[in-house]
Amino acid sequence: MEDFMNETIDTTQLPKFEDVVFSILHPNYWKVTLISLAVFFLVLAIGVGLVFYFNEDLYPFIYQLSIVFAVLLLLVFYFSWISFKKKGFAFRTHDVLFRHGIIATNTLVIPYNRVQHVALHEGFVSRFFGLAKIQIFTAGGNSSDIEIPGIAKEEAENIKQLLMGKIQKQL
Amino acid sequence: MGSDFNQPQRQSIVGILVMFVYSLQGYAKALWPILVIWIFKFDQINKFYLLIGIIVVFTIVGIVSYLRYLNFTFYIDHKNGEFIITEGIFNKTKTTIQLYKIQQVNINQSLIQRLVGVYELAVDTAGSNKKEGDIRAISHELALDLKVRLLENENKKNVNNDDSISTSDEISIEKTIDSEAPFIKISFLSLLKIGITSNYVKSFFVLLAFFITLFDHIKQITGRDILHDENIEDYVDKSQIATTFLMLFVIFFLAVIIINLVKTIFTYFDYKIARQKGSLLLSYGLLNAKSTIIKPEKVQITSITQNYFQKKMNVLHLKIKQATGGEKEDHKLAIEIPGCDKLEKDSILKLLFQKIPEKGVMLKPNFRKLGFSVFLTIGLPLLGFYFVRDLIIEELPTIDYFVLLFVLFIGIIQFFAFKNTRLYINDDFLILQSGAWDVTNKIILPSKIQAITTSQLFWHKNINIGSLTLHTAGGNISFQLGNFTAIKQYVNLWLYEMETSDSNWM
């Protein structure tokens, strides 16, 4: 137990992951999200519209359904906005942090010496805004991988180089 | 003994037969609907054509099997430290496995393989979820020899440069295999104990489903509903109904126990654990003999499960998870050791961890955790019941009592689950205790952690509670709604430990 008392003193002096200042995503990423959502809801609306067009029995329900549709649309946009606002990332000397979540605040920390590989992904819409997504994989399965979207392309390249350098150094 | 794996070599010659049967099985599986139709129309088919057809199919499969046998070779490339398997008739496949990446080498024997007296050797690595190298027919001595070679190679790189020393070393290894007496043998009695005390819930539901379908079939065939037949109440008067139900319950329970018992004994009969150069060598099975190696450094999560009865009888269930690719199949890679007693458990843990894990500082979940699980498992179902009650009550007037029983039962389970949920932390070990009836202790080393997630709901900020998930290569460990300040402090400590040392996590 004496050993343990030592450790508790140490822990208070350790760098605190909870005090890290997170960088937020590029503002353009919100536009990307908006466009993807708009496309999704457009396709959905067209689908529902077609069902109505060929099914005359459903005409009386058109009013209720449009309300449901509008509420759903607003909710999804609202939650996407919160999710966008919440997302943040930070690179420390020895690890990478990613914060995300809507009602919960999740903070995922991966030390560089546990990173398996790093990938850069450019979505179709993101490319128009010059944004890219960084994917960081570990051996801990899907739940412990980090995907940081909405980073400017050059910055993402730099981050990838930085991470690769860190991983190489570990090996 | 052809124990020189430097040159490409083929499988046992009887391997042709094994491949033949496997190919036939494969085709039969793919074409079974057609086969079923043929069987039903057996009388209408021209027997002559059928015979010719069967002969043709058998010949083709035979030739294919022979060619596959010819083209299947394996060898160890000592220079590059690789195990190489080439296979395929037209599409050649060359599988190269780095020796240091090999997680496990399993030697199994299916029924066909047992009949012709060969074994299957499967090589597992962490990289992907499926078996990479699979040698279907190999003699037992050769399999053991190859296994030793595959697993020990990384430690003997220097020795292998000198051939004479290498061979003498091989012989000594062989001798150690033969002479290595298993240091733990799970006795038949322990298996009996484990068999009658575990998996109640799982077997109960399997059996329940079985009986319900059975009643359903009887109802369809005879047109009578056994469960609601008034005649039954005519046969037995009211006082006897209770005893009948009790009898049925006891019979049901006995059936569950017997099924468990038979299953446990068939799977784990003659369980032996031997030590081999710091690794654990396990072998078990009544019909399908299996053997596995556990390398202590590749172990990620060790679970020890014990319930009240098992505690009284001094048996417990060990489960060891090694590194996986993180795919869904990871539960298949868990190695189970049923029915060891306390001493045996301690010696296994000592081999895995060099010392017996001790429980350190205890973290308890907040009472809200209990509230939330009660809400999920009792509140929501009750809400659902509230809406459908009027419909059911006509059919089954006693439904309210059943619901009351359900609430009591789940309530007790949730209470004990909450009471048993604890996270113990000390310098070397993290132990998560959980479970209501079967209490499981999951042991991980802080150095095996891959990533850490902390999570907090916004309305929990003021009362300072939150959750922690530790990701390892063998699965995740979660502890919910504990003191968030303490959790954050430990996360910082673990991160510090992980980042300052270059520990080998697999």
Q: Where are the domains of chain B?
A: 15-179, 182-355, 367-418
Q: Does residue B158 have a pLDDT over 50? A: no
B280 C-beta neighbours (distance < 10 Å), count: 22
Best mutation target among B321, B461, B495 (most A Cβ atoms within 10 Å) is B495
Q: Does residue B215 have a pLDDT over 60? A: yes
A55 and A101 fall within a common domain? no
Which of A52-66, B318-332, B460-474 is the most confident on average?
Answer: B460-474
A78 and A104 fall within a common domain? no
| pLDDT value for B3 | 56
For B380-392, letters b (16+ CB in 10 Å) and e give eeeeeeeeeeeee
When CB atoms are compared, the residue of B361, B453, B506 closest to A108 is: B453
- pLDDT category at B197 given cuts 50, 70, 90 is confident
Residue of chain A whose alpha carbon sits nearest to that of B492 = A16
A133 and A162 fall within a common domain? yes
When CB atoms are compared, the residue of B488, B493, B498 closest to A18 is: B488
When CB atoms are compared, the residue of B330, B427, B495 closest to A4 is: B427
- pLDDT category at B331 given cuts 50, 70, 90 is very low
Asked whether residue A68 is assigned to any structural domain, the reply reads: yes
The one-letter amino acid at A71: V
Q: Which of residues 185-204 of B touch A (CB under 8 A)?
A: none
| pLDDT value for B417 | 93
DSSP one-letter string for B179-242 = H---SEE--HHHHHHHHHHS-HHHHHHHHHHHHHHHHHHHHHHHS--STT-HHHHHHS-HHHHH
Domain of residue A54, residue span: 28-83
Best mutation target among B489, B501, B502, B504 (most A Cβ atoms within 10 Å) is B489
**pLDDT tens column, B103-153:** 778 888 877 888 888 888 888 765 555 556 788 888 888 888 888 888 765
Residue of chain B whose alpha carbon sits nearest to that of A114 = B450
A55 and A114 fall within a common domain? no
A75 and A147 fall within a common domain? no
Chain B nearest CA to A22, separation (Å): 15
* CB contacts, 8 Å: B128 with chain A: none
- As to burial, measured by CB atoms within 10 angstroms (0-12 exposed, 13-18 middle, 19+ buried), residue B245 is exposed
B484 neighbors B456 (Cβ within 8 angstroms) = yes
Q: Does residue A45 have a pLDDT over 70? A: yes
Asked whether residue A74 is assigned to any structural domain, the reply reads: yes
Do B126 and A108 lie within an 8 Å CB cutoff? no
Q: Is B485 on the interface with A (CB under 8 A)?
A: no
Q: Residue B230: how many CA atoms within 13 Å on its side-chain side? A: 0
Do B126 and A139 lie within an 8 Å CB cutoff? yes
- Number of domains observed in the structure of chain A: 2
B236 neighbors B180 (Cβ within 8 angstroms) = no
Question: A83, A105, A128 — which closes off a domain?
Answer: A83
A77 and A100 fall within a common domain? no
A107 and A158 fall within a common domain? yes
| pLDDT value for B232 | 52
For B152-168, letters b (16+ CB in 10 Å) and e give bbeebeeebeeeeeeee
**pLDDT tens column, B460-500:** 999 999 999 999 888 899 999 999 999 999 999 999 888 88
Q: Comparing C-alpha atoms, which of B491, B425, B359, B465 is closest to residue A11?
A: B491
Asked whether residue A23 is assigned to any structural domain, the reply reads: no
Asked whether residue A7 is assigned to any structural domain, the reply reads: no
**pLDDT tens column, A130-149:** 999 999 988 887 888 899 99
Question: A83, A103, A121 — which closes off a domain?
Answer: A83
* CB contacts, 8 Å: A111 with chain B: 451, 495, 498-499
* CB contacts, 8 Å: B451 with chain A: 108-111, 114, 138, 140, 144
Do A140 and B451 lie within an 8 Å CB cutoff? yes
A96 and A132 fall within a common domain? yes
Do A142 and B326 lie within an 8 Å CB cutoff? yes
B138 neighbors B118 (Cβ within 8 angstroms) = yes
Considering chain B, what is the average pLDDT of its residues? 80
Question: A64, A83, A102 — which closes off a domain?
Answer: A83
Q: Does residue A54 have a pLDDT over 60? A: yes
Q: Does residue B323 have a pLDDT over 70? A: yes
CATH number of the domain that A121 lies in?
A: 2.30.29.30
Best mutation target among A1, A8, A18, A82 (most B Cβ atoms within 10 Å) is A18
Chain A nearest CA to B348, separation (Å): 25
First to last CA, chain B: 33
Residue of chain B whose alpha carbon sits nearest to that of A16 = B492
pLDDT, greater one: B15 or A19? A19
B69 neighbors B16 (Cβ within 8 angstroms) = yes
Q: Is B486 on the interface with A (CB under 8 A)?
A: no
When CB atoms are compared, the residue of A4, A114, A143 closest to B476 is: A143
* CB contacts, 8 Å: B473 with chain A: 139-141
Long-range contacts formed by B375-383: CB under 8 A, 24+ apart: B377/B410, B377/B414, B378/B407, B378/B410, B378/B411, B378/B414, B381/B406, B382/B407
Asked whether residue A6 is assigned to any structural domain, the reply reads: no
Contacts of B207 (CB under 8 A, 6+ apart): B252, B255, B256, B259
* CB contacts, 8 Å: A94 with chain B: 495, 499
**pLDDT tens column, B84-111:** 888 888 777 777 777 777 777 888 887 7
